[in-house]
Amino acid sequence: MNRPTLNSLLVSTCEFVPGMRVVEYRGLARGNSVRAAALGSDLVAMMKNWIGGELEEYTKVLAECREEALDRMVDHARSLGANAILGMRFCTAEVCPGAAELLAYGTAVRLEEETG
């Protein structure tokens, strides 16, 4: 069966995976990244607030932040001996004006194929 993986470790927002069973809980897996947009981006963002439209630079910064947080979470899960992360979620928080933290987290587990 084809299963979604990130660097050969299964990552799912679901609490279970059909056809698999949790054989061991390894703990909380987490990874974070804090990013700030450049001053030029802030100026463009202020102008877009007046005229409307997508803030492309912020979209790009947050996409990079999300990928870095995911990679760090997967690395952490591997260090815990997990082969999957279940119940994966994102959380964001403003650290200071113009900078945001993005946290990726989930339950690190060991999965095996169900038999029978």
Calculate what percentage of the chain has a pLDDT beyond 90.
59
Task: Dig out the tokens for 20 from the structure.
Answer: 């698999």
Q: How far apart are CA 8 and CA 108, in angstroms?
A: 14
Tens digit of pLDDT for each residue in 30-44?
Answer: 999 998 765 455 555
- Alpha helices by DSSP H, the chain: 39-51, 56-79
Specify the pLDDT at position 61.
81
The proportion of the chain whose per-residue pLDDT surpasses 70, expressed as a percent, equals: 79
Asked whether residue 19 carries a pLDDT value surpassing 90, the answer given is yes
Tokens representing 50? 């007046």
- Given a cut of 80, is residue 48 above it in pLDDT? no
Q: Name the amino acid, one letter, at 61.
A: V
